[in-house]
């Protein structure tokens, strides 16, 4: 019940396309859902996060869509650029407890 399942494991998208990464969870007590971005040789860094009281949050080309009834959330990257090539992790937590992490998605944007 503590797991966060992330898919796909890897994704190749053409420049200018839309990248979509999905995550699913079981624990309905989760109340914070962040996405982290990791470039090679670096630690992960927070990209965007959402609370379950909203269904969507947008920051620039990055959007989180949240479906509380389905217990799923996804990251959409619009107009994907080669600089977006990175590994993306979803995560979840409740009551400010520690984060439960997805397994990661390696995204490659082809020029």
Residue nearer to other proteins on the CB measure, 18 or 46:
46
CB atoms within 10 A of CB 72: 14
Query: What mask, x for binding other proteins by CB under 8 A, covers residues 51 to 90?
Result: --------------------------------------x-
Residue 32 engages other proteins in binding (rule: CB under 8 A): yes
In the list 44, 75, 77, 86, the residue contacting other proteins (rule: CB under 8 A) is: 44
**Bridge partner residues of 92 (DSSP):** 100
Q: Is residue 27 near other proteins by the rule CB under 8 A?
A: no
- Cα–Cα dist 73/50, whole Å: 9
Q: DSSP character for 83? A: G
Shortest separation between residue 46's beta carbon and other proteins, angstroms: 5
Question: DSSP label at 32?
Answer: B
- The DSSP call for residue 84 is G
């Amino acid at each position: 019940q503590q797991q966060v399942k992330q898919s796909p494991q890897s994704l190749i998208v053409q420049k200018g396309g839309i990248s979509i990464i999905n995550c699913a969870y079981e624990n309905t007590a989760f109340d914070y859902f962040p996405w982290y971005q990791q470039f090679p040789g670096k630690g992960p860094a927070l990209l965007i996060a959402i609370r379950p009281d909203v269904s969507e949050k947008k920051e620039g080309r990055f959007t989180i869509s949240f479906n509380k009834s389905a217990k799923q959330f996804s990251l959409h990257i619009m107009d994907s650029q080669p600089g977006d090539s990175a590994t993306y992790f979803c995560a979840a937590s409740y009551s400010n407890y520690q984060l439960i992490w997805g397994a990661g998605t390696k995204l490659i944007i082809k020029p």
